[in-house]
Amino acid sequence: MTSESIPTNPPAKKSSAINRKLLWRIASLVIALLLVSYMLSRIQWSDFAAVLGRLSPLSVTAGFIVYLLLNLFRSFRYIALLDNPELPVAKVYPISLYHNFFVRLLPFKLGEVVYIILMRNRLQVRTREGISSLFGSRLLELLVIVLVAAVSLLISGNFFEGNMLALTGVIMACIIGGLAGFYYSGSIIRITMRIVRSLIKHPVVLKIADKFDGLALELDKLHEPRIFLKGLFWSLFTYGCSFAVNAILLYSVGVIVDPFTLVMIVSLGMFATAFPFSISGFGAVELSFAFGLTAFLGYSDSQATSIGLMINGLTLIYAGLSGFVGFLAVQWQEPEHDPDAEMTPWWQEIISAGKAKLRG
């Protein structure tokens, strides 16, 4: 049998993959709209107006200043994960601001391509390195959120009835185990997928296992003690700033609680920002804060959701203002390589990459 007689149908496979991606995007959009509708149905607008009335210019300004610091520390973390101390933070910081704005604004995490393209265009960071540093940043941020939330839950939950030795031991075990598990997560995922493949041969399961293998490869990039520790160090600062922004805004509208309960409430909101089925976080962030405020403090649904909407709305404004500053700075910057070698303006590259991501 000749190679020409072998039945192949790559166009059909490609079309099927595109259709699946399109269905996924539509489903994501529907979920996002349902979340927003449900969120709006819980709010009495008189409660929302009362929440806005309790805000002070000082607290709003303080929140914005800390928000700027948050993105500065993210810039230091990008440089640490790229393992290139020669990268000028003065050029990485505007890119971080501009990238953050698009991540907050666009659905389906389309804004992530801005960082990758601008780092390549302006600072000659290779695409694979840009993706790796961005992926590592997100995972380290999530790791710190999980660890801090777990420790706060253990302390505030009174699980050990005053036995400080047992409590301290469990907390240390959580921290050390979490860090070690994350550090070796690439190897753990790979071993787990080998076991899964040996037990289950279904095509869908095998395809999912392949995806996890790709995740393991990205996690391996952090399997370098010096890079891992530097990334973790800056992640503590980014967490602190992110927590402070939310805490300032909560405090300004009268939410005054013990630190550990505050950590739990804010952590729920932080988790929601990573929720993929949302548009600018609307719906997911508000409902997460609402759950925390009603569960821990007994707020009404309308009051709690109004506070969540205020926080998400203000942080989106912060992202817009800082993103505009980042845009101006990026426009002012000159690429480090020969501008004549530039085939396409960076903003056209971003649009093209966004379209490609939408098509899958």
Tokens found for residue 61: 């300004």
Write down the pTM of the prediction: 0.82
Region for residue 43 given its phi and psi (left: phi exceeds 0; alpha: psi -120 to 50; beta: otherwise): beta
Q: What is the dihedral of CA 107, 112, 113, 118, to 10 degrees?
A: 130
Model confidence pLDDT, tens digit, residues 101-149:
999 888 767 788 899 999 998 898 988 888 888 988 988 998 999 899 8
Model confidence pLDDT, tens digit, residues 218-273:
777 777 889 999 999 999 999 999 999 999 999 999 999 999 899 999 998 888 88
Question: Among 251, 283, 270, which residue's Cα sits nearest to residue 70?
Answer: 270
Model confidence pLDDT, tens digit, residues 289-339:
999 999 999 999 999 999 999 999 999 999 999 999 999 999 887 666 544
Query: How many alpha carbons fall within 13 Å on the CB side of residue 89?
Result: 12
Render 87-146 in DSSP notation, one character per residue: S-HHHHHHHHHHHHHHHHHSGGGTTHHHHHHHHHHHH---HHHHHHHHHHHHHHHHHHHH
Which pLDDT score is estimated for 2?
47
Render 33-57 in DSSP notation, one character per residue: HHHHHHHHHT--HHHHHHHHHH--H
**Mean pLDDT on 196-223:** 81
Q: What is the dihedral of CA 171, 174, 176, 182, to 10 degrees?
A: -150
Rounded-to-integer distance, Cα 72 and Cα 75, Å: 5
Confirm if 353 and 113 have CB atoms less than 8 A apart. Answer: yes
Rounded-to-integer distance, Cα 113 and Cα 183, Å: 26
Give the three-class secondary structure for 344.
Answer: coil
Model confidence pLDDT, tens digit, residues 48-63:
999 999 999 999 999 9
Angle (deg, nearest 10), helices 45-54 and 301-332: 60
Confirm if 122 and 333 have CB atoms less than 8 A apart. Answer: yes
Q: DSSP character for 221?
A: T
Which pLDDT score is estimated for 340?
38
Which pLDDT score is estimated for 181?
84
